[in-house]
Amino acid sequence: MQNIFEAAFDYLKTTYDFEPKPRPHIGEAMGCWLYYTALAEEVPVLEASLNTTTDDDLITLIKKSKNLGEHQKNILKNFMINEGIPLSQESESKPKSDPNSVPLGAKMTDEEIANFISVKIATNIIMCATNMSQSIRNDIGLMWARFQAEKMIFGMEVKIAMRKRGWIKVPPYFYTPGAPSN
């Protein structure tokens, strides 16, 4: 599925990315810095999560989330360096450890890990939309659109897995006052 999006974004890039590229304005630079910082903090937490679960399905989701975060972080890092936007400080990687050695009170539950991933995806999607709306340069706007599409596709996979496992948190249902009950 991502190959379709890659082809679409490559087409858009060649079609609409012909204008001169001024330096990013302060909003574009701030959006890059904030998203980079969010990804830089997300990856070590995912590494720590790998050290606290033994659930194979969740381990797969964590690894996919980590890989997507690192992929986007590397693209953004290269862009920021080329544009002269300072990088934020990154947390250190977490060493691999045995999940069975972590005391129960010190490790996150599988449901907590899945919901962390879900919340990060939702937050990243909103950040991408905000950054896209503030972008004047086409190349920057396309970068945010691509990041958002990647997170949305992965978010659907996470939601399906969470629903299957009973981990998804559903707000209370809304019933209109005075409406007939079904």
pLDDT tens sequence across 161-179: 999 999 998 888 888 888 7
State the Cα–Cα distance between residues 93 and 110, nearest whole angstrom: 21
Distances (CA, A) of 105 to 2, 11, 42, 65, 101: 39, 50, 22, 25, 12
More confident position, 15 or 133: 133
Which domains, and CATH codes, for the chain? 2-14+28-90+107-165 (1.20.1260.10)
pLDDT of res. 107: 87
pLDDT of res. 8: 57
Mean pLDDT of the chain, nearest integer? 90
pTM: 0.85
Q: Does 103 have pLDDT greater than 90?
A: no
State the Cα–Cα distance between residues 88 and 92, nearest whole angstrom: 13
Q: Does 75 have pLDDT greater than 60?
A: yes
Q: What is the DSSP string of 46-61?
A: HHHHHTT---HHHHHH
pLDDT, tens only, 119-145: 999 999 999 999 999 999 989 999 999
State the Cα–Cα distance between residues 163 and 85, nearest whole angstrom: 40
pLDDT of res. 26: 95
